[in-house]
Every structure is written in structure tokens, then in C-alpha cells.
Structure 1
């Protein structure tokens, strides 16, 4: 990571804290590693991103419905899914720092450094070596790669490594009042299995016909060893997943369709297309016959934001075997019973949050010949902005606050609005720029006479004079979900 990109990433982290987007969890107790809390503005942005995803999946598609499955599931669920036996990461410890790392991520960081240093051939060869080792589950080879490329511990700076071994990522706990009779259960490491075990319930009660999808947003938990890259990798995180059930033999057609659909969804937020790329998996999961990641170019390199996987019939077939319940669908069009194939789209909400934040945070130089000036602005798409508009009386007297409060009382019924009367109007504009508010409404002395106010536009900083009774329709048109969703149809 260059100094410039490193500084930008530090700016993202500090800006997120300073303006109430993201805090370190339990910070007054020195924090909890790889766990974060969303503040007053962060929770608003996060909820808006969930709403955008839910509307695009469930509201726009008549053959997709949503559920909300429990976090706790019968422990046999995770035996059937393969998580009990196979949900592992290759871990390595540094004997000097006593820190534990994912071996593959240490190597990936080295690949990124090679690319940034202009050593693309070396990066490509290292990537190939890593892929071969992962495909062969060759843990000894992973350690050899780390040693051959002089990869050191970021903390101690030494190469005093242990052997690489597998580490299960599931959290477990006890369910039951009595310790002797308690049952071992797991915090779910993914939300997908809650969809699979409810496949028949949803299909029958919703009278769903193949192809159809089940969507879900929910928390998942993984005992990630490394706390790194802010909210990129956390122990408690949120997923937005779609499991789309299709007729066997049609899965690749749907896989390619969802691959294109999902990238289009990201770009509709106003992101730079050059910041995104597809990355096909070199090593497929045991349940997949095709897999691709949508990656975003973060300050620390291209990383996965969303995965699209063709999961075949593995999950439903496994649950049929372990539960002894038939997970079949009768297809009247071909007069056959079969276990459907599944195409999955899975996006990490926290990673999406970081993507949107990184894409929106801009430092603008507004200097002129007369004076030096600049601003920091979050250029969120208006539909997902945490605060839609701020109402600002020009002064704290002469009836202006009362008029501003009157305007706010009407607007807050439909939109999240802030009121601010402290400091000069220029400072207040800058504060709203820094939290991504699309519109500022200034109430001045003339407003008391003509019932008109000034709207300032965040991105252009242009101002226009409008009637107070038109404010709701003007703001509503500009922050409407329709502006986003129409780009997806």
C-alpha cells in the first residue's frame, strides 16, 4: 500500500469515527478485536443499504420472497452443510509476536506488494503457487511459500513461523438450563442454511414455482483470527443473501444472469466502473460448480464485496440425507420430481458499507486566487444518504428558528432531517457535506415575507430559491428510491 492510499484509508477510518458512522466496539475498555459498532449515522446508512438490496430483490421480482431465519439452528444443520468438518482456514503463528495469521492472506498481501512495486510477473507466479497449494490443501507448501518469499510478521518483523494448520471458524455455545444436559449449538457462520432448511416451508406456503428465490438479511459469526482492514473482516457481520432455485441444467444460464445483475446493482449507486472487476475462483468450494467474486479496488487493493456461486443441489441433497425429509420439487412443466439446483448471490453488508464510504469520501480543493479553501464531502447517492436534508435558520433570532422548526416538523414525517443553528452558515454547510447530506435548506429573513427558502445542493454547491410548500415534493423526487431502482429494470 502506497503512502497516499494508506493515508486515504486512515482518513476513511478517522472520518467514520469523527462523524458518528463507525466506532470500535467496547472502546472504553480498549475495544474488542475485529468487532465494531455502527453509530447514529452509520446505522442510518446501513439500514438504507439494506433497504436498497431488499427492494431490488423482493420488491422488483415477483418470484423472490424474503425470510428472517433464527441465528441458532439445530446442530445437525452444520454437520449436513459441512461446516463442522470443513469450515477451516489455514493458520500460522509467529513465535516472536505470538500473533496468529491466515497463511493465504499473508501471501495475498505479498502479491499486492509485488503488483504495487511493478513486479507483475512475480505477483502472477506467486498467485499461481498460492492457488495450486490451496487447491491441493497443501499446508506444508503454504509455509514454504511464506519462507521463500521472505514474508515477515507485521508486528515482530521476523520470519519465526510455526507450521500451517487448520482452524475451525465457528463459535459454539451451550443451549439449556442445566450444564449436564446442555446441548452444543453454534452461532451461524452464514445465513444461507436458514434458507435451505426452510425451502419446503416457503415453496409450499408461498405456492412458489421454479425458478424462484428466497432472500434474507441477517447476522453471521466467524471466529476470524485477524483483526485487519477496519470493517472488512469482522467476527460479527451481516450478510444479504439470495438463494435462487432453478431446474437442473439451467444453472449456468442463471449464474451468468445474476453475475451481470449484481454488478449493475453496485454501479447504480454511482460508483466508478473501473473500481470493480470480476474474479473467478481458482479453487471451488466443495458445493460449487462455478464461482465468481465482484471485487472493489479498496485503498489496500482489490477485495471481494460480493460472491455469486452455482451451488448445484449440494445443500438440499445434504439436508435431505441428514433430516430424512424429501427436499424435492415437482415440476409440472416437465412432469418430474427433482432436487433444485441453487444459484447464490451473497454480499457482506459491512463490506458494502466500506465500499460505499470509500467511493463517496472526497477531498475537494476550492481555493481561488483570493483565498485557500477546501472541503471534505461524502457524495452518497441521495437515496442512501443518512440525512436527506438539513434545515438551517440563517440566525438564531428574529423568528427564523421558529420558521425553520415549522418547516422541519412537516418534512420529518417523510424524511430524516437535521436541524442546525450553531455557527456561521458556511461552517454548517461543511458539517453537512462531511456527513453526506444532499440538500441544505436555509431560512432567511426574506423567507418570513415570501415563504421561500434557499436549497443548496451538496455536490455542485449551487443554490436555488424555492417555495416552502414545494420542498417536500422537490426533496422527495431527488431522494426517491425510484431513481435507483429504475436503473435495475
Structure 2
């Protein structure tokens, strides 16, 4: 049975073999924690972006989108708190010389205890089936209660240490828990230190401190400094949102686990501006909306969970993550944060410009509060790929690797294949492809046996394959094959476009 680590290795290998993801600068032995998206990866990535954008902007009358610049005035990052407070607590192992995020070491230790609880729950389900009362079991089982108490105690200690900026207490907690270096097994740790994650560079022809600017570590600030421009030019009324998809950059010292944590990554964010005092109502609303969006793609409920933040960021009064069960366990996929009015008031203070909204219904001006939804596009890509990757043993004893991607996200929607390379079949196949390529990304494939061609399309997640054979020339019908069921049916070419439109219609996903 494959381990989670093996599963991640398989996904990495598959990504490279089929043109989804390559190591950046591969011919120069690569650049750590930087990746390039290949021909199919870029299609999948664009489809995820489009699906998010349509759900967030197109489906909401009161949400619009912008595209802010990566470079911003350096005062932006002083106002936002990133210059002084955008840090990770890092710790080095003295024997392996490897560096780790202290918070991640503690989170992974807690997750091991959670898995013990889940193991007990699984045993109960196997033993009692439908009669098993999970809630009662979690509330009364001595092992579960003991392990949950351990988790609560660790979280309380870590929260207190971080809230008090007590890095010595964080180190003490790591030592108390007996956390060892995953590489060497050593428990000899250095002190915990804070490390600022922003990349800096110079603008202009002279490199000096006066020209120092930063690569943005998040896309949100581009929305905040433009919020009044958008509100006035778009005649937006509160509550309203501004969405953006864009690159962000963080000098991650501990960057690993493939594209999960990178130094150059992409975010899909939406900042929702609300009346002060109504932020918690909208916070709960967006929690519900965002998990609904994730589940619309057909990934099962047990792959998701909400996780409330132990330590709130300096700008937040409520925050949680939607976590996904990646090959390396449950990890953050999307954050929902109630950011209060911190950002806008800070930009007011540092810029000297008023950023107030006049509310005609209340007949008063105020600085809006903000509820944020922020999803890592690269993490969403990895979640989609890892859920879809499947190795199947078929009835005839053969095996296949298939990517069961949601049809709406699949890079290639349809492969058109002539049975042979002669007798006018290629010409007919290309005629069909030419009629469909305006609406769908299609591939033409005539090399190798039909079995090999099907396996190739299965491996890249193509939902449907159309085969053109000699009967096609007689009655204008083709065989269409479903990726997931492998069932084939004969349909008229004239019905093909109607069938595909029904299969890929956004209404069935976003309703």
C-alpha cells in the first residue's frame, strides 16, 4: 500500500512526465522552491482561475475585479505592518543543520495526535457501522478525551507564547513535546528567531536605500489602496467586493512539499467591504460560500475541514482556514479572515488621504470593515491533482493511471481519434475537431493503438474521446468514450456539440 509520501512522489513524477509541472531552470539543476507550469499545467491553472473568477465576479453583481501592479510604493508595506511584523518563527536543528518553521513542527505534532483520535473513530465505524454515534464517542471515549486534552493544552501554550512574542516559550514547548528533526532524529535545537519574508529590490538606476522597494508578499494591499477608486468609478454600494488574481512573493526559508509552499506563487483573493459591526455576519456568510464552491467540484466532504486560527494576525478579529487533505495531511488551502478596518485606517494614516465611504442609507461616513477570502492557486492546483490521481486495476487484470479531474477544469476537454491513418478517416476526424475547437480545447491523436491512445488521454484527464471509424463515413456517427466509466456509446456527429455543452455547462457546477 502506497504511503502518503509515495503518493506525493507519484504526483510529482506524473506532473513532469505529462507536462503539468516542471522544476524551474531544470537544465541548470533547478531553483529550489520555484516551479514552471507546462503545457497541460498552464491549461489546468487557467481553468481553475476562470472557474474561481466566474463564481466570484460573474455570479455576484456587487463584486468586481481588478489587476493591481506587483510593485507598490514602499510606504504601503510599512502601513500594512509587513515591514515590522511579516515574520516566520524559525528554528535550526544543531545536528542536521536543517531549518524549520517552529509553528509547523508543532502543528505536525498536533496532527499526529489528531490521527490517533481518527484511528479510534475508524475502529468504531468498522465495529458498529451505521449504529456508531460519532459525536457521543468523541464526547465520552477516554482515549479520545485524553488525546483531545493534549491537543488543547499544546494549542493554548503555543497561542500564549505567540501572543506574547515569547520565542523562548515556543522553543521550550518543542523540547517539552520531544519533537525531533525529521531528517536526523536529533532533538538538539537552536533558539527560535523571527525571519522577515519579504523580497526587496531597488527601483531606478541607482542602488541605494532611498530606492528600496518590495515584491508584494500578498495581493490584498493592491485592493485596499484602490478601494475608493473602484467604489467611485464603479458606483459601488456597501456591501461590495473587489477580487484579484495575481503573483505574490515570499522568501520562504523552509519551502518544500512540491508546489504547496513556493517563493513565487499566485493568489485568488476577494476583499469584501462591509459596515462596521456587520463583519461577523459576512464572515460566516463567506465561510459557507467558499466551502460550497470547493465542494461544487465534486471532491468529497471528508477531504475538507475548517480550522480556526490559534493566533490571530495583527489585523484580524476572526480567522479560519479551509484545510484540504493533501498527500502530506490536512493543510491550509484557503483563508477566510475578518480584517476589521485595520488596513484602510493604516493607509489613511500613512498616506494622509481619507478612505471613508459615505453611506447614503445611514447618512454618515465611515471606514469600512473588510472580510477577506484568499486561496492559493498553486495549492488549489495541487489539491485538484492529488484528488484526481488514481491508479486502477481493471476487470481484465490490466491497470491504468487516470486523472479524474472535474470536467470543467480538465486541460483537454476532448480527444478526436481516427481509427486508422487512411481511408479518409483522418480528414473526417479533423473536420470534427475544427468544428469544436472554438469552444473546447481539443487534441487530435492518431498515433499507436486505440488502447494506448485511451490510456494516454486517461493519464492527462481528458473527459471524453471521440473515435472516427469507417461507419462514420457511412452514417455520420462516432463513438464517444467516457473517461471515468470507460463506457462507449454511438451518437450522431450533429448531436456531439449539444452533448458536450451539457457536460461542461457551468450551471450544473455553480448552481
**TM-score above 0.5:** yes
Aligned partners of 2:115 and 2:372: how far apart in 1? 33
Aligned partners of 1:125 and 1:398: how far apart in 2? 74
Residue 480 of structure 1: aligned partner:
505
- Cα deviation per residue 1:84-117 (whole Å; 9 max; x = unaligned)? 0000010112233332211111222222334445
- CA RMSD, Structure 1 to Structure 2 (Å): 1.6
* Gap regions ≥5 residues in structure 2: 118-142
- Higher mean displacement: 65-74 or 86-95: 86-95
Residue 20 of structure 2: aligned partner:
21
Aligned partners of 1:3 and 1:372: how far apart in 2? 19
Aligned partners of 2:24 and 2:229: how far apart in 1? 37
Give the Å deviation of 1:182.
5.7
Output aligned runs, 1:48-87, within 5 Å: 48-87=47-86
Give the Å deviation of 1:32.
1.0
8 Å CA contact 1:34, 1:226 repeated in 2? no
Aligned partners of 1:182 and 1:287: how far apart in 2? 28
Aligned partners of 2:152 and 2:279: how far apart in 1? 31
Q: Is residue 392 from structure 1 mapped to residue 408 from structure 2 by the alignment?
A: no
Residue 365 of structure 2: aligned partner:
337
**TM-score between the two structures when normalised by the length of structure 1:** 0.95
Q: Is residue 455 from structure 1 mapped to residue 459 from structure 2 by the alignment?
A: no
Q: Is residue 138 from structure 1 mapped to residue 166 from structure 2 by the alignment?
A: yes
Residue 217 of structure 2: aligned partner:
189
Residue 209 of structure 1: aligned partner:
237
Match of residue 317, structure 2, among 289, 309, 317: 289
Give the Å deviation of 1:180.
4.7
Give the Å deviation of 1:481.
2.3
Residue 240 of structure 1: aligned partner:
268
Aligned partners of 1:387 and 1:133: how far apart in 2? 49
- SS in structure 2 opposite 1:353? helix
8 Å CA contact 1:176, 1:182 repeated in 2? no
Aligned partners of 1:274 and 1:155: how far apart in 2? 30
- SS in structure 2 opposite 1:446? helix
Aligned partners of 1:296 and 1:137: how far apart in 2? 29
Residue 401 of structure 1: aligned partner:
426
- Higher mean displacement: 127-136 or 413-422: 127-136
- Higher mean displacement: 146-155 or 53-62: 146-155
Residue 313 of structure 1: aligned partner:
341
- Cα deviation per residue 1:370-419 (whole Å; 9 max; x = unaligned)? x4122221111111110000001111222211111111111111110011
Give the Å deviation of 1:482.
2.6
- SS in structure 2 opposite 1:189? coil
Aligned residues: 482
Aligned partners of 2:237 and 2:208: how far apart in 1? 46
- Higher mean displacement: 19-28 or 340-349: 19-28
Aligned partners of 1:37 and 1:303: how far apart in 2? 22
Aligned partners of 2:208 and 2:347: how far apart in 1? 29
Output aligned runs, 1:256-267, within 5 Å: 256-267=284-295
Give the Å deviation of 1:460.
1.2
Match of residue 446, structure 2, among 389, 398, 421: 421
- SS in structure 1 opposite 2:201? strand
Give the Å deviation of 1:459.
1.2
- Cα deviation per residue 1:336-386 (whole Å; 9 max; x = unaligned)? 00000101000010111111111111222213xxx4122221111111110
Residue 299 of structure 1: aligned partner:
327
Aligned partners of 2:223 and 2:85: how far apart in 1? 20
8 Å CA contact 2:388, 2:405 repeated in 1? yes
- SS in structure 2 opposite 1:110? helix
Match of residue 350, structure 1, among 369, 378, 381: 378
Q: Alpha carbons of 1:181 and 1:5: their partners in 2 closer, same or farther (altered >3 Å)?
A: closer
Aligned partners of 1:225 and 1:378: how far apart in 2? 32
Output aligned runs, 1:426-441, within 5 Å: 426-441=451-466
Aligned partners of 1:68 and 1:352: how far apart in 2? 20
Residue 38 of structure 1: aligned partner:
37
Aligned partners of 1:485 and 1:260: how far apart in 2? 14
Residue 255 of structure 2: aligned partner:
227
- Cα deviation per residue 1:212-270 (whole Å; 9 max; x = unaligned)? 10000000000111121111111111000000001111111111111100000000000
